[in-house]
Amino acid sequence: MSKTYAQVMKQIDHLRTEAERLRKQEVSGVVDRIREAIQFYGLTASDLGLGRTRPGAKPSAPKPKKRAATRDAKVAAKYRDEHGNTWAGRGKRPVWLRDALLAGRTLEEFAVK
């Protein structure tokens, strides 16, 4: 016999409750093992990458993020049409150039000299 929607929803609720109970139980065991390892090896928050190790200690300066040099770099146009549209030859071809090529023109006609 097939189950009703209400029966399935009740079963889902029961499974969620059971899953959360099991999760809490497993987390408790993991935390206990971590505490034992920390105590056994004498680890500090700094050793674990958790920041300050004593009150008043200054955090180390964050490392600056590297930016891709090509992302912001301006590149000279390699192709230009009579309307002033340009393309540097990077990335997808712009619509104006694709349309012109489909109309029978060649890429060399738009090359900037």
DSSP symbol at 54: S
The pLDDT mean for the chain works out to 87
d(CA 41, CA 71): 45
pLDDT score at 64: 78
d(CA 34, CA 22): 18
**CATH architecture, domain defined by 69-110:** Irregular (4.10)
pLDDT score at 104: 94
Q: Where are the domains of the chain?
A: 1-52, 69-110
Q: What is the pTM of this model?
A: 0.37
Mean pLDDT across 80-101: 92
Rg (CA), the chain: 31
Sign of CA dihedral 99, 104, 106, 110: negative
pLDDT: which is higher, 67 or 14: 14
pLDDT tens digit sequence for 22-73: 999 999 999 999 999 999 999 988 888 887 655 666 666 777 777 666 666 7
